Structure 1
Amino acid sequence: MDSDKEKNSCTFLFNKSKIRKTGIRQRKKSSDSSEDETKVFKKESKISDSNPLRQRTNTSSKRKTEKSDSSDDENITVSYKSRRTTAVAGPSDQGATAILETETELDKDAQAIFERAQKINEELEGKEDDKIYRGLNNYSQYYKKKDTAAGNASSGMVRKGPIRAPANIRTTVRWDYQPDICKDYKETGYCGFGDSCKFLHDRSDYKLGWQLERDAITGADGNSGDEDDKKYEIDSDEDNLPFKCFICRNTFVDPIVTKCKHYFCEKCALEQYKKTTRCFVCNTQTNGVFNPAKEIIARVKADENKSINKSSDDDDDDDDDDV
């Protein structure tokens, strides 16, 4: 029976329709990427360089180089070892004593050759000819030249041949604007070129920029300038000196003054110094420095003289009344 059942069993087959999906690009699935991972592809717009009016910076080339450098496995790194000092690079004097070496050496120029010839002639003076050739520039001279350029060539600025150029001059130049003014017209009011002169015909006085700045600071032009703190102060005939001591509140006896311009009696200041070295008024450190107050002393003497003169005048008036 079992064999009959096996013979009577049949199998069913279904033909699956193959549907081709057109327009869809099949991507290869990588084993590393997950199903949830998404990728965004952005198409870069290319700008044609055929238009001469279109310009751009070098950022694109820099980005390309950065990408290429980052993609390399082995990046080249350059590092420099620090000297770990605060000294400035270069010479210590910042080139102030540098010498220009483009000129002829001092032992080979025309002046050195002439000085050597003079020295040889002085050594051979009064001696017989030894029949020795010493060069084209060292011939013996039997006539000594005096009071001429050749005779004085080794002293002063009178030289034979090219003068030595200065090799260690350091110049500081400041350019200042000044209009081109006709000098003849400014001084005399007349110019031979007339209207065809290319310089300005102006007889007014002009100052240079540094002169204007100097006048503005010093107040030579009538303005005291912004740097003058006493520009708007009103001067008064009365002085601002105190008439009594700040400590004892009495008339000054042997007045002294501190560095902070406060006036005290000498006795009061010494007693205050025993307690503290600071000023009694403004609490400034005085370090025990007290100077005699010459202004107050002079004022006290002037008041005394006035009182004496006034009393003498009153006595004279009384005598006149009695007569």
Structure 2
Amino acid sequence: MNSIKSAIKNAGWPRIIIALFLLSMYLISPFIGINLKTALGDTLVRFGMNAILVLSLVPMIQSGTGLNFGMPLGVEAGLLGAVISIELQLTGIAGFLGAMLFSIPFALLFGWLYGHILNKVKGGEMMIATYIGFSSVAIMCIMWLVLPFKSQDMIWAYGGEGLRTTISVENYWHRVLDKVLHIPSDILPLGEIFCFIILGAIIWIFFRTKTGYAMKAVGTNDKFAKATGIDIDKIRIKSVMMSTVIAAIGIVVYQQSFGFVQLYLAPFYMAFPAIAAILIGGASVNKATILNVIVGTFLFQGILTMTPTVVNNIIQTDMSETIRIIVSNGMILYALTRKESAGSGK
């Protein structure tokens, strides 16, 4: 009995209720005409698409730099890498890896600048990060129009200048991870999950190095960390750069699964679902684990996938987009207003 109470306390009643609600939707789906295998497959595909973006929050949370509302900065770096890869006509795994490699220098530069700004506003990081994320999207809206890209697959047809709002990667590296592994992604996105496992393992190992322990010490107690000789500002900048690079990689993985590169205002609100997911998974503003990422992403994407489908089948009316907006924003509101501490998952 004590072990059950301890497990409930560690998980938290809100997470248990969300998990039970999601489980109930899976259980009733066969009785209202929904294929359970397809429904679970859709959830796993969305998990694979979004997990790395949620994972990118971990370094900044662990260093006490706050929830990364400036994630669009890393996303913009990933978009730059993607369009450069397409401009160079790189296809298959070379195009996918090229998009990642091209995005990393931009992500490092953006993260370095972002980290220096956050060090100037300690205590107000999340507010400033939100403005940084929004302003980066606005600046890049201009850049997408003036950068000298020439690929006919990307530029506007009627003007011959500026990039389109949506660019297809169908002929370049769409679902390349699943093609390499010869696994159909609509059943199980092993490619995306494999990428997540690799990056998750790297982060897990990193936080067991000297720098990783220093980063956690800064997030736990910055005064103690300073007393032990840790350069707090330098560690915080490293965590921001890590988060930005992982976000850039995450959006490239997202694009190869989704099939399109979405520019202009598309990255505007990408940070909010990711932050909601990791908080629902049990993270707090200064502690997050890989388990929080896995649990939170699955719960958030599961609810977001299943709720509109189940409700539509029950009431026989297409309200999927309206329901998705209500559920998504409701879960984000819940996640951002909860004050409980992080779970104990590692």
Q: Same fold (TM over 0.5)?
A: no
TM-score with structure 1 setting the length: 0.15
TM-score with structure 2 setting the length: 0.15
Bigger RCO of structures 1 and 2 (CA < 8 A, at least 6 apart): 2
